[in-house]
Every structure is written in structure tokens, then in C-alpha cells.
């Protein structure tokens, strides 16, 4: 085992490390200190940077961490903390909910363009069997159905897009409520059946 120590407030905290990772962690610690000298708002807690260096050493190569720090310098507007760095390490990125919702809207409008068409009498629409993920299909239904998206493919509708993004982001919460309601309704129905059969008085 070896111990990293320095005269600086951050590096004065002793960190026990395996010798194989000691030098890498020390280099990452120096990199973090240089990074925060530029970005500002360095973590104030004693030993915080040393711990960050340890975790980053285990999470990616020097090149990957460097790429993540470069992205943080370009993209982050608030004090940069460990989760900001980790989610930008190549191969470990956390999906951006806003980008995911926008990609889903693009997928829906593109699908509608090729699979939604006017009915033979011109008074309705025909829709092919949809294989998009259920979350997209549910969001489309809550936003007026496929006809609205087919029209948006010809004439962009910013209000439809805004509504879709909001509904898409709310989907998980809505499904959670629906599942709770089904469980509750199921329990009531079971009790009602027991009452009818005389098993519960």
C-alpha cells in the first residue's frame, strides 16, 4: 500500500491506494486541481478531490476522463461535481431526457409520414401496424393520435411538439399511477366477489 500526501489542503488528506493505481490516481488528482483552477467552485469538503480521483480512476482511462472533463468545461454551467464527470465518460453516458424525448418525437413524425394515409373515402385515415416502443405510441395517443402527426409531417406544429415532449416525460409517472389504480381496482373487485359468494361478511 502507498499513501498520497501533499502540502496543499486537498492533497494533505491521506488516501490509501494499491501501488498499481497510486500513480494514476495521483495524476488524476493533479488533473482535477488544474481543472478546478480554471472552472472554479472546487469542492470544499476535505478529501473530496482525492475521493473523486479514486472513483474516476476506477471508472475510465486517462483519455476517457480527460474527454469527460473537456465536455464538462464546454457544457456545464453550474459547479461541476462527480456525477457530471461520470455521465460524460465515453461509453458511460447517461441519456439526456430532453434529447431522448426529442428523438422520440422525430421517430413518431417520421413513422407517421410513411405509415399513415388518408382512407379510401377521404374521410378518415389508415394506419399500419405500429412497432414503435409503447411509450411513443401512448404519447401519440395522448396528443391526438396519428392523424395529428401525419399533418405535422406536412406542416410543422410547434404546439404538438411541445405537448408531445411534456407527455413523453410524464409517461413513467402516468404508468405508475395507472398500475396502482389497477391494483387497487383489482383488490376491490376481489373483495366484491368474496362478498357475493358469502365468504366475507
Cβ atoms < 10 Å from Cβ of 150: 20
> Averaged over 121-148, what is the pLDDT?
86
| Choice among 61-65, 122-126, 129-133, 157-161 with the minimum mean pLDDT | 122-126
The residues near 114 (Cβ < 8 Å, ≥ 6 apart) are none
Q: Would the pLDDT of 9 be above 50?
A: no
Single out the residue of 142, 112, 118, 147 nearest to residue 130, CA to CA. 112
What letter would DSSP give residue 144? Answer: T
pTM of full prediction above 0.95: no
Out of 57-61, 71-75, 151-155, least confident range: 151-155
Q: Annotate 83-140 with DSSP letters as a single string.
A: HHHHTTSTT-PPPPHHHHHHHHHHHHHHHHHHHEEE-TTSSSEEEPPP-S-HHHHHHH
In Å, how far are 115, 157, 187, 189 from 192, measured between CA atoms? Answer: 45, 48, 9, 5
Assigned C-alpha cell, 189: 373487485
Amino acid at each position: 500500500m502507498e499513501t498520497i500526501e501533499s502540502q496543499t489542503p486537498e492533497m494533505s488528506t491521506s488516501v490509501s491506494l494499491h501501488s498499481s493505481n497510486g500513480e494514476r490516481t495521483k495524476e488524476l488528482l493533479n488533473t482535477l486541481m488544474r481543472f478546478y483552477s480554471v472552472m472554479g467552485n472546487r469542492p470544499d469538503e476535505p478529501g473530496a478531490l482525492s475521493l473523486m480521483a479514486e472513483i474516476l480512476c476506477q471508472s475510465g482511462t486517462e483519455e476517457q476522463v480527460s474527454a469527460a472533463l473537456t465536455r464538462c468545461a464546454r457544457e456545464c454551467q453550474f459547479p461541476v461535481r462527480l456525477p457530471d464527470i461520470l455521465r460524460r465518460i465515453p461509453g458511460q453516458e447517461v441519456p439526456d431526457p430532453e434529447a431522448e424525448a426529442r428523438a422520440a418525437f422525430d421517430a413518431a413524425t417520421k413513422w407517421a409520414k410513411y405509415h399513415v394515409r388518408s382512407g379510401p373515402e377521404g374521410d378518415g385515415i389508415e394506419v399500419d401496424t405500429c412497432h414503435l416502443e409503447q411509450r411513443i405510441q401512448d404519447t401519440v395517443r395522448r396528443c391526438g393520435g396519428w392523424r395529428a402527426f401525419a399533418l405535422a409531417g406536412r406542416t410543422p406544429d410547434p404546439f404538438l411538439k411541445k405537448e408531445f415532449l411534456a407527455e413523453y416525460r410524464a409517461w413513467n409517472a402516468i404508468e405508475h399511477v395507472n398500475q396502482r389504480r389497477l391494483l387497487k381496482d383489482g383488490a376491490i373487485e376481489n373483495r366484491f366477489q368474496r362478498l357475493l359468494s358469502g365468504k366475507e361478511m
